[in-house]
Amino acid sequence: MRHHHKRWLHTRISEVLEGALKREAQRRRLPVSSFVRNVLEGALDLVEDIVETTTGVRGARHGHGDGVADVYGWQELILNRPGTCARCAAAFGAGTKAFRGLRDQVGPPVFLCVACVRRLRQSSQPREREEEAR
């Protein structure tokens, strides 16, 4: 994924913070600018999630309730830790098969359970049959 630079943001930081950011970026094998951008985006997503959880208002920043409108595909995987389905809120534990949403833009991870992916496939099947008939 490539980030297109639109704006520069300059700020003053302490030497201690600069050192910590550079060490962590090096540990993760990322350019410092990418690491800082990821940290800022992650922090904003975390704040949004906290606000949504405490106020009950979902999708305020993204304009959708389940957080999957910008997902272009689903990758099957086995979870290593518990998760929750973005559509039906079903909880799944470690070792459970789930599907992670793939996005072009950075965003919080979203997962679907097997049942919701099955419903997604079923809803697309009539359209696929129509296109095949053409």
Burial label for 83, CB within 10 Å (0-12, 13-18, 19+), is buried
pTM for this structure? 0.47
- In Å, the largest CA–CA distance within the chain is 65
Q: What percent of the chain has pLDDT over 90?
A: 28
Residues 57 and 100 in one domain: no
Q: Which of 12-21, 52-61, 105-114 has the lowest mean pLDDT?
A: 52-61
| Count of domains observed in the chain | 2
- Whether 73 and 44 map to the same domain: the answer is no
- The answer to whether 77 touches 100, Cβ cutoff 8 Å, is yes
- Which residues 6+ apart lie within 8 Å of 59 measured at CB? 52, 65, 66, 67
Q: Are residues 80 and 42 in the same domain?
A: no
**Domain hosting residue 55, numbered range:** 1-61
Same domain (yes/no): 101, 47: no
The model's pLDDT over 71-122, given as tens digits with 9 standing for 90+, comes to 899 999 999 988 888 888 888 888 999 999 998 888 788 999 999 999 888 8
Give 21: exposed, middle or buried? Use CB within 10 Å, 0-12, 13-18, 19+: middle
In which element (H, E) is residue 115 found?
helix 114-133
